[in-house]
Amino acid sequence: MNKEILVIDDNPDIRFLICNILKEKNYIVRSAANYDQAEKEIKKKLPDLAIIDIKLDKSDKDGIDLLKLIMSIEKKTPIIMISGHASVQIAVEAIRLGAYEFIEKPFSTQKIINYVNRALESASLKKEKEIIENKLFHSFELIGSSSSITKTRKTIDKLSNSDSRVLIFGPTGSGKELVARKIHKYSNRSSEPFIVLNAALLREKTYERELFGEEFEDGNVSFGALERANKGTLMIDEVSEIPLETQVNVLRVLIDQKFKRINGKKEINVNIRIISSTSKNLLELVNLGKFREDLFHRLNVMPIELNSLKERTEDIPLLIDYFKKKISELNGVNEANIDTKNNELFTYDWPGNVRELRNLVERITILSINEKEEDVNKLMSELLSKSSMKEKKLSINDTLSIPLKEAREHFEKEYLMSQLRKNHGNISKTADFIGMERSALHRKLRSLGIKGIN
């Protein structure tokens, strides 16, 4: 379907010129000569893209007001602002308010076409990204009946009417981003942006720019995560990776709710909820001087701890059934016949946690199309065995470098934890299977520092 573009300019010659250029490229074009006409066109039907002249014939309302109007209706609508006599300050303000681009008059035919194509392509990519994110996060739920997941769901419910900062602890793949998105979804900021900044993926010299943005000599502006998340939620993933010198500036934003872009002179006020996550022990990093204690306490207002999958194996059957259904829907294929009582599922260590389980279910779903149930379970055993062998090789290499006593304790600990997971944490069943008295097993678990399997 051809895209519809609204052209707003009080100069009839320029309006006619732009409309003809766009029509030749098979765009559907509407036009308006002033603010009142434009307002009627916008409220009649929002265009796929708008081209707006900043200076219009009505002195109290101009193109900036139309930009604000469209942004209030739909922030994702790309808008190109044009002007022959606007200052750099006005151009910067237009971009800050949400305009895709600012073009000075006079402009060439090719230039206007290039900007229109780029703006529409950018909007399309953002829409596709949002659809994917909705499928990955908004449709997926926190599945499980274990005490840890039940507690997490209750905490999310309590946070729905709060703007408290949240710090999510948990190993890689345990669902930290999913929890953050759920907190945002159920908050009063749900209609505002949810921005993710993964601190582990940034280069050392880019943290400041990615967070605070940057102003350039030519008047262009690069908006940082703080500004893009304004009024919404900013998730700082792997917050432990932010350098100490940048942590000072993050702390200042949390205190003042304002900051300056790199090379900027004007302070920018923001209203943001910060959700942080980490797979490391932040308190340990604080004690080592690698993370600021004052920043830790500012972020850790509401802590949420996510257990590894091997610590909540009773959730595995529920997760498999859930992922089977979702992956079937997303890929348009039949659900895989996975035996959720297979002992290998409960004895495997799941180093990648829930993410690894989901990937396993997806692989089995795709690879087992038109296969018999016994073949599906054989495939699952093969995939788990390959992963398990890699872990065992690593474990053996680790034990070769330690004394016999430590190696024996290491084996006993791994063996007992494996048996506990197999029996879903039931001490009596585990004791019967391994041939120990229940009280003796309790003493052994204490001596090895095993607190129990949830």
Do 309-388 and 402-454 fold alike per CATH? Answer: no
Note the pLDDT of residue 138.
46
Least trusted range by pLDDT, from 140-144, 200-204, 250-254 = 200-204
Collect all residues with Cβ–Cβ distance below 8 Å to 47 and sequence separation of at least 6.
Answer: 4, 5, 6, 30, 41, 77
Nearest to 263 by CA among 208, 226, 225, 207: 208
Residue 255 structure tokens: 């205190």
Side-chain half-sphere exposure of 352, counting CA atoms within 13 A:
10
Note the pLDDT of residue 259.
94
pTM higher than 0.75, yes or no? no
For residue 193, is the peptide bond before it cis, meaning its omega torsion is within 30 degrees of 0?
Answer: no
Query: What crossing angle do the helices spanning 63-73 and 35-44 adopt, rounded to 10°?
Result: 10
Mean pLDDT, residues 355-379: 77
Phi, psi dihedral angles at 240 (to 5 degrees): -65, -20
Note the pLDDT of residue 140.
63
How much of the chain, in percent, has pLDDT values that exceed 90? 45
Note the pLDDT of residue 88.
77
Identity of residue 7 = V
Eight-state DSSP code of residue 262: B
Identity of residue 53 = D
Note the pLDDT of residue 395.
47
Class of domain 402-454: mainly alpha
Give domain limits for the chain: 4-130, 139-307, 309-388, 402-454
- 309-388 architecture in CATH? Orthogonal Bundle (1.10)
Mean pLDDT, residues 186-192: 90
Nearest to 445 by CA among 416, 422, 406: 416
Note the pLDDT of residue 397.
47
Mean pLDDT, residues 294-309: 96
Confidence band for 410, pLDDT divided at 50, 70 and 90: low
Across all residues in the chain, what is the average pLDDT?
85
- DSSP string for 153-189: HHHHHHHTT----EEEE--TTSSHHHHHHHHHHTSTT
The more confident residue out of 378 and 112 is 112
Q: Which residues pair with 262 in a beta bridge?
A: 214
Note the pLDDT of residue 304.
96
- 4-130 architecture in CATH? 3-Layer(aba) Sandwich (3.40)
Q: Is the pLDDT of residue 132 over 70?
A: no
Q: Report d(CA 136, CA 375) in Å as an integer.
A: 28
Q: Which residues pair with 31 in a beta bridge?
A: 7
Q: Is the pLDDT of residue 282 over 90?
A: yes
Confidence band for 26, pLDDT divided at 50, 70 and 90: very high
Q: Report d(CA 439, CA 454) in Å as an integer.
A: 19
Mean pLDDT, residues 311-320: 94
Nearest to 256 by CA among 245, 242, 243, 271: 271
CATH superfamily label, 139-307 = P-loop containing nucleotide triphosphate hydrolases (3.40.50.300)
pLDDT tens across 422-443, in order? 777 778 888 887 878 888 888 7
pLDDT tens across 85-95, in order? 767 788 888 88
